[in-house]
Amino acid sequence: MELQLALDLVNIPEGIALVKEVETFIDVVEIGTPIIINEGLHAVKAMKEAFPNLKVLADLKVMDAGGYEVMKASEAGADIVTILAVAEDATIRGAVEEARKQGGKKILVDMIGVKNLEQRAKEVDSLGVDYICVHTGYDLQAEGESPFEALKTVKGVVKHAKTAVAGGIKLGTLPEVIAAKPDLVIVGGGITGEDNKQTVAAQMQQLVKQGV
Ligand SMILES: O=C(CO)[C@H](O)[C@H](O)COP(=O)(O)O
């Protein structure tokens, strides 16, 4: 089980400073969609250059032109690129093909907005993606939703891909997440919004490693 730090509401220097604080406790650093909108793929390049030993995920949430967008993110240094599960199968196939061509790059499918989780999880699993991620976005978090039940549903049907979970995970809710045994736990505000980021990240890492 691995821990991913999601950076969303910072610029490049702020993001690098934040990762410096917690780099020994995380496996993957996510350049969140808002950063890519504000700064472009330069943010991915800067993060990979600053932390070559960390995996960098570009949260592009690709919806079309999967091959092209994965190519561009890979060239910028991304190790993992996100694509939406609601995209066409052809788009997801294109993303997977390009990731293989780029040598060892991974595709994470974000299930945000999917109504029939079981059916779509089975379909995207058969397309050869590397991760299937259940995700409660900010707008549904604001309505009190969480991704915990969705994780159990997806874990029950996925046979090939690794599973990931994101959406409002905090230190207090991490044990419930870990009990469902995802391969990748994604935490944004649960670390970045804390005063003592190092302590929280260290505790999270300990729990995640215990849950291997
Ligand atoms: O992809 C995202 C928003 O679309 C976030 O990066 C993801 O939800 C993790 O952040 P948080 O733990 O703060 O919810």
Measured in angstroms, how far is the CA atom of residue 37 from the centroid of ligand 1?
A: 15
State whether the beta carbon of 8 lies less than 6 angstroms from ligand 1.
Answer: yes
CATH number of the CATH domain containing 93: 3.20.20.70
Measured in angstroms, how far is the CA atom of residue 68 from the centroid of ligand 1?
A: 24
State whether the beta carbon of 169 lies less than 6 angstroms from ligand 1.
Answer: yes
- pTM of the shown model: 0.97
The structural domain count of the chain equals 1
**Closest residue to atom 10 of ligand 1, CA basis:** 188
Q: Which domain holds residue 53?
A: 2-210
**And the tokens for 93?**
């196939």
pLDDT tens for the chain, 212 residues: list them. Answer: 999 999 999 999 999 999 999 999 999 999 999 999 999 999 999 999 999 999 999 999 999 999 999 999 999 999 999 999 999 999 999 999 999 999 999 999 999 999 999 999 999 999 999 999 999 999 999 999 999 999 999 999 999 999 999 999 999 999 999 999 999 999 999 999 999 999 999 999 999 999 87
**Residues sharing a CB contact under 8 Å with residue 133, sequence separation 6 or more, in sequence order:** 82, 108, 109, 110, 111, 163, 164, 165, 166, 184, 186
Evaluate whether ipTM surpasses 0.95.
yes
State whether the beta carbon of 168 lies less than 6 angstroms from ligand 1.
Answer: yes
